[in-house]
Amino acid sequence: MINLEIPGKLQNVQNMARMLAVQVFRPITRKYDKAEHAKPVELYPIAEMLRSQMRGGEKKTGGEPSTATTMATKNGQNMMAVLGTAEMSWGDVAMGVATPGIGLGNAAISAVGTPEQQEQYGKLWCAMAITEPGAGSDTANLSTHARLDGEEWVLNGEKIYVTAGNFCDAVVVWATLDKSLGKRAIKSFIVPKGTPGMEVVRLEPKMGFRVSDTAAITFTDCRIPKANVLGSPEIAEDARKALGGAMQTFDNTRPMVAAMSLGVARAALDLLLEMLAKEDFVPGYDKSLWNASALEAEIYRMEADYEAARLLALKAAWMADNKLPNSKEASMSKAKAGRMGNYVTLRCVELCSTLGYSEEYLLEKFARDSKILDIFEGTQQIQQLIVARQVLGLSSSQLK
């Protein structure tokens, strides 16, 4: 196995994220699992701290870099995000998503927004609204419509399953300028919360990820400034150019979803080993798979599956930081880690029998939370399609 050493400055990020997971997330994880749709007020004080660290902070007097500057890297933001996300997800995988200022819409604005858009909206908590009642993974079938009326865009339509759609400050909305043109006419628009015509109509009750609010939002003659479109307002000749900015967002964020799976899977494995140790069972890792007991062999397999997913996520993040095309690797990491997280968390529940199923321990919550990680930001099947297209050199119209 290749053992990749994490640079010291990124180890600091890991250590701080683990401290946050242990001291803030884990003590309140069951509270917000039971109090679905309650605002997680404990997370608000840490939001600005996280944002300042991502911005790099200021230097101290005398030329010494601050802690935040030391942790920031000019060529390592994606790796930092993956490592930090994995550690925070060990505490509670949904709380990272529920932390103010950390939204998929923020990633979109950061990736393709103008300097003015980044200045105005980059510090806000921005959600992303893509899914509709009749359009999930098939983005070409979006019905939410946008038309230009003078100096304003007018939006009409409905979005569902909007993560952080209730508590956020703004939403990045995918809409079409002309549905008959398919993906070529799809654009994304920044809609601040409170804009007339935008309404949160429902909060979804969920199996897991309960601390993260998931909303349905309608847009009825919702008017926003002309400047609130992300990217070019013109209909593209090539669908890949039309969706290029959005896809770039996913190339950066899918490794982070993989990191969420890594965190919750590691939490389940650690708790499994802790519970087994109480029964005087400690796997030695000194036997081959074929000479180990059935329980030891299963632990070996889960650890190996975890390690494979971890390396894929690190590679995808490293490629993004080094400006290398990573669409295939981002989808590979998300698909592998999502599947691994589902299997490992549920298997840990099974191996602990009734204790794993009981709310006395968090294993059952880890299993419930992990399921969505194989679904949102592109299902397992969609990731496999993306990888197949990349490997075979085929377009979305050639391989559906």
To the query of whether residue 377 is one of the catalytic residues in this protein, the response is yes
The span from the CA of 203 to the CA of 217, in Å, is 9
φ, ψ (nearest 5 deg) of residue 298 = -65, -40
CB 264 within 8 A of CB 341: yes
The residues, any chain, with a CB within 8 Å of residue 63's CB and separated by 6 or more, are none
Q: 298, 329, 364, 377: which one is catalytic?
A: 377
Cα–Cα nearest to 387, from 251, 238, 239: 251
Q: What interhelical angle do 363-370 and 26-34 show, nearest 10?
A: 70
φ, ψ (nearest 5 deg) of residue 133 = -55, -30
The span from the CA of 75 to the CA of 183, in Å, is 32
Residues for the chain: how many in total? 400
Tell me which residues are annotated as active site.
377
